[in-house]
Amino acid sequence: MGIKEDHVKKRIVQAAKKLTAQKGFEATTVREICAEAGANLSLVSYYYGGKEHVYEAVLDAFIPIAEASRVLGEMDLDPVEGLCTMVREIVLFRSADPEISRIIHQEMVLQTPRTALVQQRVLPAWKLIRGFLEQGREQGDFHFRSLDMTMVQLLGSVLFGDNRSGLSAIMQEEFPDAQSQVEDMLTFILRGIGYAGEVRFAAGPILNRLPSEEDSCEGADPGEANRGEGEADPGKAKADRGGNTESESESDKHTGMEADKEANTAAQVQSVSKEERRPAAKPKREE
């Protein structure tokens, strides 16, 4: 896949995330997603096969909790380190991407047909947290009556601890930054499960080291992203060649070909769609 195609797909996914967080899945249309992304309407079907698969692409791109759980699961952590590190990762993730956090919240609360898709991607983290709690209680570090009730209360705090909707009338303080939220959250949780020792983390933030779907889009030169794969920057090439206008003309020609690729793809998709909708010709009746 060329750089331009990859960039268009990322724009579609990011637009879908933004609009779904604002309006919900059902109220968000493919037309709105494409308008936000600046992409041709037919490209959603061409690249993803429909809005449902765009939604799955959003979840895959922006919910790296399962991968962070795998990384932590491979470390030999004691229950205090494991629990503190997992809580930190989720709180930092939630603070860094409030849109995907809002989508998770929507699905967990409303219990839609897509809730299972979200659960598949966050369940590894919940299992890891449950294991740390159980191990900590067995070793005497944590003290609580019900493991299930502790999980419900802990996850409610971690997932929705920054949800202030409906509480603005009584809120008087500025909301703390992400690091302060981590510290306050751990103080609240650890005291709630009877831990009296020091907070311990396994390592630096895990999710910050994982590749992000936005990495190749943020901070990139839009012209560079729209050029074909392997194509040089015309301005830079001109300086390197000392103003070789013939080579520059060839580069511009190639850029134009790549720029037409998206439109041609869309036209092909629309043409196929029309053929599928066209009724079959009736056979001639024999005399």
pLDDT at residue 260 tops 70:
no
* Higher pLDDT, residue 230 or 59: 59
pLDDT at residue 242 tops 80:
no
Please tell me the predicted confidence (pLDDT) of residue 208.
Answer: 63
Reading phi first (left if > 0) and then psi (alpha if -120 to 50, else beta), residue 84 is in: alpha
C-beta separation of 231 from 255 below 8 A: yes
C-beta separation of 124 from 70 below 8 A: yes
Q: Domain residue spans in the chain?
A: 1-62, 64-161+176-206
CATH topology of domain 64-161+176-206: Tetracycline Repressor; domain 2 (1.10.357)
- Please provide the average confidence, as pLDDT, over all residues in the chain: 77
Measured from the Cβ of residue 156, the count of other Cβ atoms closer than 10 Å reads 12
8-12, 63-67, 120-124, 213-217 — which is least confidently predicted?
213-217
DSSP-derived secondary structure for 155-189: HHHHHHTT--TT-TTT--SPPP-HHHHHHHHHHHH
Residue type present at position 277 = R
What's the average model confidence in pLDDT over 18-23? 96
Quick: pLDDT tens for 64-104.
888 888 888 889 899 999 999 999 988 888 888 889 989 98
Please tell me the predicted confidence (pLDDT) of residue 163.
Answer: 65
Quick: pLDDT tens for 179-229.
898 999 999 999 999 999 999 998 777 766 555 545 444 433 333 333 333
DSSP collapsed to 3 states, 201-238:
CCCCCCHHHCCCCCCCCCCCCHHHHHCCCCCCCHHHHH
Please tell me the predicted confidence (pLDDT) of residue 247.
Answer: 41
C-beta separation of 190 from 199 below 8 A: yes
**C-alpha–C-alpha distance, residues 225 and 215, integer Å:** 12
pLDDT at residue 164 tops 60:
yes
CATH topology of domain 1-62: Arc Repressor Mutant, subunit A (1.10.10)
Q: Do domains 1-62 and 64-161+176-206 have the same CATH topology?
A: no
